[in-house]
Amino acid sequence: DGVTEVLAHHSENLQSKFVEIPCSEDYDSHKRFEGCTPRKCGRGVTDAVITREEAARIRRIAERGLSLGGSDGGASILDLHSGALSLGKHFVNLYRYFGDKIQDIFTEEDFALYRDVRRRIQQRIAQAFGISSSSMYLTKPTFFSRINNTEAKTTHDEYWHPHVDKVTYGSFDYTSLLYLSDYTEDFGGGRFVFMDAGSNKTIEPRAGRVSFFTSGSENLHRVEKVRWGTRYAITISFTCNPDHGIGDPVLM
């Protein structure tokens, strides 16, 4: 594993931490959008954008949605935008599968909070990278994840492989994660690891903590296997290309 350096400890309450790193060439093979496509690259962490109380409310949305399904393996996914929900070894469309019953599971307040949290994260990313938040568009997949130590049954469950978001999902330019549970209290393992030449930089999840980064190869990363407990997070991703933009989820 080489040398591991902790970028953000779970016990810290970080106002703001930002590390600038040179951009990879990944953005050159995509259409550039002036004033949005990364020219400054890096990674940031903040505990000052979302409160722990808001994180607990968002987590309850995830728990209610994921209680309707869940993967047989280590990673369960809930995407409120597309309706994708892990069910056994497959995915179902939450909105089609449960129809009108969905009104009993989620409220308008849930979706309003979700939109507000997304907007604040978007503004913080724009501020950190010196771009206009109106030039960024939410893109897919944007999803809740619930990870425990159940063995992976399908390749979808194998969340721990190193990857580059821009390579995996061409539309991504900026990736963010909002953590909804606490490292060492709610789960063990499951840290987020940036894999740099010669050393790893890790982020220890803490409810309400937002980590964000440019999506190219400059930020190769992985998530450690969760050894015990349950880790909740939401991945919220942004693109500079309006053709790849998606709207906020709406309660049908």
Residue 86 β-bridge partners: 91
- Cβ atoms within 10 Å of 37's Cβ, excluding its own: 19
Token pair listed for 190? 């499951």
Residues with a catalytic annotation lie at 231
